[in-house]
Structure formats: C-alpha cells, structure tokens
C-alpha cells in the first residue's frame, strides 16, 4: 500500500462525518415507523430478561447511580452504566433485530446508547430519532466493507461495528462538529472488542458485547467533545479497524458509502420471531412444516440439511457439541437443536431455550440425527435460507425449503406481530398487563416529546 493510500486527503471517517452532518434521516419516509418498531422490540426484550442472572450480575457490577433508566428496574445508573446494562439485557436472549446483510444487531447497541444519552443530555424526540437512524445506518453499512471477514477472524461484528454506530448515533443527536465526529470515531476504534469464543461453552460474553459497544461509543463521544484526538484513518488505515478485526486492507468502502444520506437501508432491519441465532430461523420454519405432518419424531431415521459455508463455524461445528448443547444459551447457536426443538415442541421461543428443556431426551434424540452438507450456491450473508430433508424409518422422505427469513425485509413481521411479541415478552418478564399497555403507549409517542424520558420503564 502506498503512503498516499495510507494517508488520503479525505479519510473514511471524514466522509462519514460530512455525510452525518448533511443527512436528515428523521425526515425520511418510514423513519418514525422503523424507529418505533425498533424501540418497541428492544424494550420488550429488556423486560423479558430483567430477572435473568446475567442482568443481575451486570447491574451489581456498576457502583455509581445516576439519572438514566435501566429498563425494568427501579435503580437508575449513570449514562454509561445504563447503556451497558440495557445493551446486555437487550441481546441476552438473542431475540433482537438483525440486519440480514451482516448479520449485525443494531437495536441492541443503538437503542440503549441513545436512551441513556437522551436522558442524560435532554434530547428531544426528534433528536432521539435522528440518533437511532444514523447509528443504525452506520452499523448496517459497515457490513458491506468486508462481508463475513470479521466473523471469520473470530470477532463479533455487532461488537466491532456497534461502537462506531453508537458514536455516529450519539454524535448526530448531540450535533457534534465534523472534527469531533472524526475524533470520536478514531477514539472508538481503540474501544472496539468482542471475540466469539463464547461458542465453545455457551458462556455469557456475547451478551456483554452490545452493552460494551453502547457505553464505549458514549465515552468516545465525550472524550472528543473535550478535545481528545483520535486517528482520522481509523477505518482504512494500515493499523485500522478492518486490518485488526477483518484481517484485510482491501475493504470496499465505496459500497459502504454509496448513497449515504439519500438512500436509507436501516428500514430493512429484520425482527425475530424466534429466540435464537437468526440463521437458525429458516430451518425452524422448515422443521415446523414437517411437524405439521403429525409424524412421530421417534420414527425419524435422519435429517440432512443444506448449509452455507459461512455459518458452519458458529451454528454447525463442532457437530457433536451442537447436537448436545451444554446449556440453553449454547443451544441458541445450534441449528441441530433448533430443528429438533421445533419438531418436538412446535416452537423456538424463550421457554424452548431453558436450561432444563435443552436436556430433554426427546429433543436431543432428534438433534442427534441432524447433519449437513455445504451448499456452495447459498446466498449467505445476503439472504438466510433453510432446508431440511427428513428420512423416516420406513424409508419415506419429507423435504422442505425456505429461501428467506420470516421477519426480514421480504417477509416482515406486521405491527400486530411485533405488539404480540412485545406483550408476550412483558408477561415473561413479570410486567402486569396494565403496565405493558402503558409502556406501549409511551413508546408510541416517544418521538413527539420535547424531552426523552423512559423512567416509566423502571418498575
């Protein structure tokens, strides 16, 4: 790489900063609806997770109280603490939104970061919406630079890109200058983190990644506001973000920047109907179609699936472990378990990933029969697909395919679906029906308020 390419006249962070300053996403068609759906979904998931031990551990780890809401809890924390805990709660059950071109989970970083910053700095509803849109858009667009390479390098894209999205969203809402945004991106590059070794044993660190990104994005913005300097070539530099987390200096930044400020992709963000890794979902739908036949799962001889090479290391391998996940969280990243639980129980919701349920011999018996072959034509990561070919003991074969993800851009969940999901999550988390209705109404009006305040959720 030449010296000129290492030090461009206008860096990627400068191009992004100028685009952010000029953009008006809050006025774009569909922005309010997308923002409302995202906040609704994240709030409900946080309520659902509020009694979980990983949330209790996260709250207990924070010493300082403050002015910011922890969704579903009476205790308030400082802005960084609230962003951290809410980010953990939002992602903890893996029930959160997904951008199919990544995959990356924008809502679990951007919503907690913006709620906390809004309550600390008195954002209006319109500033809140602006921050949600810009932050989510940047997270999604970063996926186009080096598709699949961050995961292959052993990192979680939501964590790595999330801190940059949080900077963009908070910075946009606070109306940072171009130089402040450039510095904040540069600072945040040294705060990006998130290895995917949780796959080895179903431990909790993936749950932490969005919260870490949300709080780090805020800290980077505050440092930049005080004049702290960061490298302007943080994205494309020879020691920059993509060199470190994707092992490449050949990122396609033109793909990331194409149409930024004019064309908005964050409205294509998908909302999950099942509480597990997104790429499992089409397989679950196929398995549920098999389940409708009413055949005895014990009579299944084998199940063969076509799979994308890019997801094998996360959702299929090591196959023996994926067939017998050690706990409910590990099961969320297992296609064999997802297929089996969908056949045996007919669903893959929060309760299907309980630590007791994942030990069910009937489910494990089916999971032990699931295998895969690589489909070299699979369109992942642009599209998530499913396929199951079930061979019965009597020799009969039943085959199902699904070329899309329910909840995604081509087959979105309706408002009614999302409200039902929200209400079910609130009930799962122990919120009364009346309180759930009040929270729903509060979220519906969030973008019209002079000052954003989610303290209604602190109960």
User: CA-based angle 21:26:31, to the nearest 5?
Assistant: 135
Q: In whole angstroms, what is the distance from residue 166 CA to residue 106 CA? A: 9
Q: What are phi and psi of 388, to 5 degrees?
A: -135, 135
Structure confidence at residue 45 (pLDDT): 98
What angle, rounded to 10 degrees, do the helices at 415-428 and 433-444 form?
140
Do the domains 12-271 and 278-402 sit in the same CATH topology, yes or no?
Answer: no
Residues in a beta bridge with 155: 195
Structure confidence at residue 3 (pLDDT): 39
Structure confidence at residue 459 (pLDDT): 65
pLDDT tens per residue, range 106-130: 999 999 999 999 999 999 999 999 9
Q: Cα–Cα distances in Å, from 138 out to 12, 109, 116, 422?
A: 12, 12, 19, 26
- pLDDT band (50, 70, 90) for residue 53: very high
Q: Cα–Cα distances in Å, from 279 out to 16, 188, 272, 407?
A: 30, 29, 11, 12
Pick the CATH number of 12-271 from 2.70.170.10, 3.40.50.1820, 1.10.4100.10, 1.10.10.10: 1.10.4100.10
Q: Cα–Cα distances in Å, from 114 out to 39, 166, 173, 338?
A: 10, 8, 8, 33
Structure confidence at residue 7 (pLDDT): 81
Q: 128 near 114, Cβ under 8 Å?
A: yes
What are the residue ranges spanned by the domains of the chain? 12-271, 278-402
pLDDT tens per residue, range 436-445: 999 999 999 9
Burial pattern 264-284, b for ≥16 Cβ within 10 A else e, equals bbbbebbbbbbbbbbbbbbbb
Query: Would the pLDDT of 97 be above 90?
Result: yes
Close Cβ partners of 76 (under 8 Å, ≥ 6 residues apart):
65, 66, 67, 68, 69, 70, 82, 455, 458
The CATH homologous superfamily for domain 278-402 is 2-methylcitrate dehydratase PrpD (3.30.1330.120)
pLDDT tens per residue, range 286-344: 999 999 999 999 999 999 999 999 999 999 999 999 999 999 999 999 999 999 999 99
Q: Check: pTM over 0.85? Answer yes or no.
A: yes
Query: Would the pLDDT of 85 be above 50?
Result: yes
User: What are the structure tokens assigned to 118, written together?
Assistant: 């809004």
Structure confidence at residue 304 (pLDDT): 98
- pLDDT band (50, 70, 90) for residue 408: confident
pLDDT tens per residue, range 355-382: 999 999 999 999 999 999 999 999 988 8
Structure confidence at residue 4 (pLDDT): 40
């Amino acid at each position: 790489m030449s010296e000129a390419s290492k030090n461009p006249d206008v860096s990627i962070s400068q191009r992004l900063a100028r685009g952010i300053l000029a953009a008006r996403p809050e006025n774009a068609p569909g922005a309010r609806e997308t923002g409302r759906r995202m906040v609704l979904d994240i709030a409900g998931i946080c309520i659902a997770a509020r009694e979980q031990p990983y949330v209790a551990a996260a709250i207990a780890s924070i010493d300082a109280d403050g002015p910011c809401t922890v969704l579903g809890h009476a205790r308030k924390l400082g802005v960084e603490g609230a962003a951290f805990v809410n980010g953990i709660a939002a992602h903890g059950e893996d029930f959160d939104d997904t951008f199919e071109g990544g995959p990356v989970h924008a809502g679990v970083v951007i919503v907690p970061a913006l709620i906390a910053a809004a309550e600390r700095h008195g954002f209006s509803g319109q500033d809140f919406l602006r921050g949600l849109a810009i932050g989510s858009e940047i997270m999604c667009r970063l996926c186009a630079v080096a598709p699949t390479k961050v995961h292959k390098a052993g990192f979680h894209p939501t964590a790595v890109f999330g801190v940059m999205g949080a900077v963009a969203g908070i910075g946009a809402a606070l109306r940072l200058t171009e130089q402040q945004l450039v510095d904040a991106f540069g600072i945040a590059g040294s705060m990006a983190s998130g290895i995917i070794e949780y796959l080895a044993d179903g431990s909790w660190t993936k749950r932490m990644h969005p919260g870490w990104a949300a709080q780090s994005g805020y800290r980077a913005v505050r440092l930049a506001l005080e004049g702290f300097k960061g490298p302007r070539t943080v994205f494309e530099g020879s020691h920059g973000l993509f060199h470190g987390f994707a092992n490449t200096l050949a990122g396609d930044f033109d793909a990331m920047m194409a149409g930024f400020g004019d064309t908005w992709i964050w409205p294509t963000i998908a909302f999950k109907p099942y509480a597990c890794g997104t790429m499992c979902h089409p397989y679950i739908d196929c398995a549920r179609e098999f389940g409708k036949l009413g055949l005895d799962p014990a009579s299944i001889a084998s199940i063969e699936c076509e799979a994308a090479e890019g997801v094998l290391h996360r959702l299929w391998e090591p196959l023996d472990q994926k067939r017998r996940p050690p706990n409910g969280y590990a099961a969320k990243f297992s296609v064999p378990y997802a297929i089996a639980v969908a056949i045996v129980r007919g669903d893959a919701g929060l309760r299907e990933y309980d630590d007791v349920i994942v030990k069910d011999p009937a489910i494990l018996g089916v999971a032990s029969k699931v295998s895969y072959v690589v489909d070299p034509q699979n369109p992942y990561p642009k599209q998530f697909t499913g396929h199951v070919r079930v061979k019965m003991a009597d020799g009969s074969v039943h085959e199902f395919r699904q070329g899309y993800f329910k909840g995604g851009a081509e087959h979105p969940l309706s408002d009614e679906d999302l409200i039902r999901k929200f209400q079910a999550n609130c009930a799962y988390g122990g919120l009364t029906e009346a309180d759930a209705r009040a929270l729903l109404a509060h979220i519906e009006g969030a973008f019209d308020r002079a000052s954003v305040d989610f303290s209604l959720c602190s109960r």
